[in-house]
Structure 1
Amino acid sequence: MVAVVANKRPPKGLVPRLKKALQALMEELGVGDKAVTVILTGDRRLRALKRAWWGEDEATDVLSFPHYEPEDPFLPPHLGDIWISLDTAGKQAKARGAPLEEEVLVLSAHGLWHLLGHDHAKEEDWEGFRRVQERILTL
């Protein structure tokens, strides 16, 4: 199950498409019986979270907060939260010449990949990031 909380007004039609596409991606990845929450907000909130958790005082596009330790032998019913800044996503979409909706889908897939225990430090994870980010756009 995918729950979406919008602290900032998303573009019309984004929330239903996001729920549908992320749920389909979760099914393909074998975690369709799990839940995630996606929070759509702005730069100020993501900057505060990044400062509190990573010690970096800057806005970012997406942060993931798993509700378990990735090394645990089981996955809990709720995998965690994916926070997306609509401000930064909008800037990135504009720079790529893409719609904001598409950027948010890509960021949600990226966040899900993190919730499943993958990170940027491992070279083999980069292919997975690219693959799930491309796949969500076709769902």
Structure 2
Amino acid sequence: MNGIVDIVIEDARWEAFGLEPLAERACSATLAALGLGAPGFTVVLMGCDDERIATLNADFRGKPQPTNVLSWPSEERGAEEAGGEPDLPEPGDEDEPCELGDIAIAWETCAREAEEQGKPMVDHVTHLVVHGLLHCLGYDHVDEADAALMEGLEVEILASLGLSDPYSDGPA
């Protein structure tokens, strides 16, 4: 593995889409925004279909339906207080990078959501990869304070990539 993302493609549409370079860019921007240099970290990203993510969602969350993205942090990093900053990890080194966790993303749900929201799929998937990595880093949206922190970071990171606010109702 040469980059941050260890990619697992279970649905060939992700390969043709260019998920790996998109994910490298999104993850690098996320780590940079948090003051964490990209070298020294790794995350596994699986590009799958709705059937596979529905199985994972049922197994891990008790919700037997597809979703857009799921994440599994390698360890608990969440803040102790609502709206607080999580305990960010220290980077590893080139030979033994810090493993942040695993992310799965589903083709059909992502494509449908992008179409429904009238945005390019590449923008939507970039947002979901950033979202998934933030979960691996201990951010969450369980309550309003946590959601405000996480969404604010997402908007900032996406802006650094030239993408519009995914939470805005209006045009960019």
- Give the TM bin, normalised by the shorter chain: 0.7 to 0.9
User: Paired residue for 1:110?
Assistant: 131
| Long gaps (5+) in structure 1 | none
Secondary structure class of the residue paired with 1:93: helix
For residues 45-84 of structure 1, what are the alpha-carbon distances to aligned partners after superposition, in whole Å with 9 as ceiling and x for unaligned? Answer: 1100111111111111110011112259673700101111
Secondary structure class of the residue paired with 2:77: coil
User: Paired residue for 1:75?
Assistant: 89
Identity %: 31
Secondary structure class of the residue paired with 1:98: coil
User: Paired residue for 1:44?
Assistant: 51
User: Paired residue for 1:17?
Assistant: 22
User: Paired residue for 2:33?
Assistant: 28
For residues 14-47 of structure 1, what are the alpha-carbon distances to aligned partners after superposition, in whole Å with 9 as ceiling and x for unaligned? Answer: 4313212321221221333321121111111110
Structure 1 residue ranges, 4+ long, deviating more than 4 angstroms after superposition = 71-74
C-alpha change, 1:118 and 1:73, in structure 2 (3 Å) is: closer
User: Paired residue for 1:98?
Assistant: 119
Q: Distance in 2 between matches of 1:125 and 1:55?
A: 23
C-alpha change, 1:68 and 1:91, in structure 2 (3 Å) is: same
Q: What is the root-mean-square deviation of aligned Cα atoms in Å? A: 2.2
Q: Which has the larger radius of gyration?
A: 2
Q: Distance in 1 between matches of 2:153 and 2:114?
A: 18
Do the aligned partners of 1:60 and 1:88 also contact (CA within 8 Å) in 2? yes
Q: Distance in 1 between matches of 2:65 and 2:140?
A: 20
Higher helix proportion: 1
| Long gaps (5+) in structure 2 | 79-85, 91-97, 162-172
1:48-63 paired onto structure 2 within 5 Å: 48-63=55-70
Comparing 67-76 with 3-12, greater Cα deviation is found at 67-76
Amino acid in structure 2 at the alignment position of 1:19: E
Secondary structure class of the residue paired with 2:26: helix
Do the aligned partners of 1:68 and 1:75 also contact (CA within 8 Å) in 2? no
Secondary structure class of the residue paired with 2:46: strand
Given the two structures, how large is their TM-score scaled by the length of structure 2?
0.71
